[in-house]
């Protein structure tokens, strides 16, 4: 998932997507332990996608705080 795709999403969409990806990550780790996962690079990609989504949420949060402080 590209960062510009994440930035186009709303906060609610991002949080639901993070929850889905975390469940997916648990499943991938479980498959990896059982030796059923053939492409182990998927684990890294999912982790990076989660990090990107959390980063965008944090950017929006700090931007909102900054604009609230400027208004006061």
So where are the chain's domains?
A: 3-71
- Please give the pLDDT value at position 71: 83
Whole-Å CA distances, 12 to 16, 50, 58, 64? 6, 14, 13, 16
Fold of the 3-71 domain: Helix Hairpins (1.10.287)
Give the pLDDT confidence score for residue 53 in this predicted structure: 98
Return the residue matching tokens 């996962």: 37
Which segments of the chain have a pLDDT < 50?
A: none
In this structure, what token pair is assigned to residue 57?
A: 């949420």
Sequential DSSP letters for 3-60: HHHHHTS-HHHHHHHHHHHHHHHHHHHHHHHTT--S-THHHHHHHHHHHHHHHHHHHH
Q: pTM for this one? A: 0.92
């Amino acid at each position: 998932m590209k960062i510009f795709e994440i930035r186009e999403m709303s906060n609610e969409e991002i949080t639901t997507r993070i929850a889905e990806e975390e469940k997916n990550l648990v499943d991938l780790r479980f498959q990896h332990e059982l030796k059923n996962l053939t492409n182990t690079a998927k684990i890294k990609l999912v982790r990076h996608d989660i990090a990107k989504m959390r980063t965008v949420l944090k950017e929006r949060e700090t931007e909102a705080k900054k604009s609230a402080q400027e208004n006061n």
